[in-house]
Amino acid sequence: MSEIRVLVNGARGKMGATTVAAVRAAEGMTLVAETDLGDALADAIRTSRADVVVDFTHPGSVFENCRTILSAGAHGVIGTTGLSASQLEELSQLCARIEKNLLVAPNFAIGAILMMRFAAEAAPWMDRCEIIERHHDGKADAPSGTALKTAELVAAARADIPWKTGAAEKETLPGSRGGQASGLRIHSVRLPGYLAHQEVVFGAAGQTLVIRHDSLDRNCFMPGVILAVRKVAALPGLTYGLERLLFG
Ligand SMILES: NC(=O)c1ccc[n+]([C@@H]2O[C@H](COP(=O)([O-])OP(=O)(O)OC[C@H]3O[C@@H](n4cnc5c(N)ncnc54)[C@H](OP(=O)(O)O)[C@@H]3O)[C@@H](O)[C@H]2O)c1
């Protein structure tokens, strides 16, 4: 089988640089180009004849990058967060038209995928749930894509059972109860010292259950990224979430 030709976009960034090293070390793939802000991505894809582009850039540019990747004839493995539901829908249609694939994963850490799965499993059995996510202070978006995805999965697992409600509450300080997504409260902490951490906290009478994942080093994302690079060509259209590769 021929080697997969990989271009890393955002290669000077923290995740991009880690991906460059991981692709170089992986069997069955060749790093054919590195691009970053200011480079002509479409030209680089065509010149390098990249099969797959890995994108770790910025939430403000990821949608346009995805369109460029597909239009230039490559598959995309997208780790950059911040794509909205309507943008994902638009990209899914573009994938179908162009017959190139995107794998978009808000979290490539396999432990984080397991955290989400275990949280979905717990959801029907507990009364309430809130999410606390902590990230480094350089993160551009809040809440994290992982927190949004977790809320979506937990809510779906609980679709037929309403959550128990507490006493009526009034925020005397606006925002103190966090934001809401899929009916769950999400609290985002941004501080130097953190990398990426999340707790899914369940409560019921007389007990709490905390499902927690900590990314301590950016290498934790690399097995997931490399797996996605290997598989994306065989996953028609837009695939959202690494779990599709792990659990089918
Ligand atoms: N899916 C996952 O598992 C996962 C894990 C960790 C992080 N992330 C996400 O990955 C993204 C990058 O994170 P990071 O920590 O690596 O950020 P970072 O260190 O700031 O790196 C981003 C890099 O992309 C460059 N860039 C910005 N806009 C660009 C564009 N339009 N075209 C090409 N390059 C561009 C930046 O250049 P400048 O510095 O010059 O702006 C920088 O070199 C974030 O959205 C983050 O939330 C995802």
Residue 59 has pLDDT above 80, yes or no: yes
Residue nearest to atom 9 of ligand 1 (CA): 80
Residue nearest to atom 21 of ligand 1 (CA): 13
Residue nearest to atom 47 of ligand 1 (CA): 81
Q: What's the pLDDT tens digit per position in 168-185?
A: 999 999 999 999 999 999
Q: Give the right CATH number for 110-215 from 3.30.565.10, 3.40.50.150, 3.30.360.10, 3.20.20.70.
A: 3.30.360.10
Give the ligand 1 atom nearest the CA of 12: 43
Q: What is the pLDDT of residues 210-233, one digit of tens each?
A: 999 999 999 999 999 999 999 999
Band (pLDDT 50/70/90 cuts) for residue 248 is: confident
Residue nearest atom 10 in ligand 1 by C-alpha distance: 80
How much is the pLDDT for 74? 98
pLDDT at residue 13 is higher than 90? yes
Asked if residue 124 has a cis previous peptide bond (ω within 30° of 0), the answer is: no
**From CA 244, how far away is CA 217, in angstroms rounded?**
24
CATH architecture of the region 4-104+218-247 = 3-Layer(aba) Sandwich (3.40)
Does residue 1 have a pLDDT over 90? no
- Specify the pLDDT at position 75: 98
* Per-residue pLDDT band at 244 (split at 50, 70, 90): confident
164 C-alpha to center of ligand 1: Å?
39
Nearest protein CA to atom 3 of ligand 1, as residue: 107
DSSP state of 221: G
Please check whether the two domains, 4-104+218-247 and 110-215, share a CATH topology: no
**Which atom of ligand 1 lies closest to the CA of 135?**
47
CA of 139 to the centre of ligand 1 (A): 9
Q: Which of 219, 242, 229 is nearest to 3 (CA)?
A: 229
Please give the pLDDT value at position 2. 87
CA atoms within 13 A on the CB side of 20: 15
- Please, which pLDDT band fits residue 166 given cuts at 50, 70 and 90? confident
Q: What would the mean pLDDT of 190-194 be, rounded to a whole number?
A: 97
- For the chain, the domains span 4-104+218-247, 110-215
Read off the pLDDT of each residue in 103-113 and give the average, rounded to a whole number.
Answer: 95
CA of 79, closest atom in ligand 1: 1
Confidence class of residue 100 from pLDDT cuts 50, 70 and 90?
very high
Residues 6+ apart with CB under 8 A from 94: 66, 67, 70, 71
Dig out the tokens for 183 from the structure. Answer: 């009916």
CA of 206 to the centre of ligand 1 (A): 42
Q: How far is ligand 1, taken at its centre, from the CA of residue 4, in Å?
A: 23
167 CB-contact burial (10 Å; exposed 0-12 / middle 13-18 / buried 19+): exposed
pTM above 0.85, yes or no: yes
Q: How far is CA 187 from CA 82, 140, 198, 199, 201, in A?
A: 17, 15, 10, 10, 11
- What residues line ligand 1, using a CB cutoff of 6 Å? 9-10, 12-16, 35-37, 56-59, 61, 65, 79-81, 105-108, 139, 221
The residue assigned the tokens 């997931």 is: 224
Measured from the Cα of 35, ligand 1's closest atom is 33
Say if CB 65 and CB 38 are below 8 A apart: no
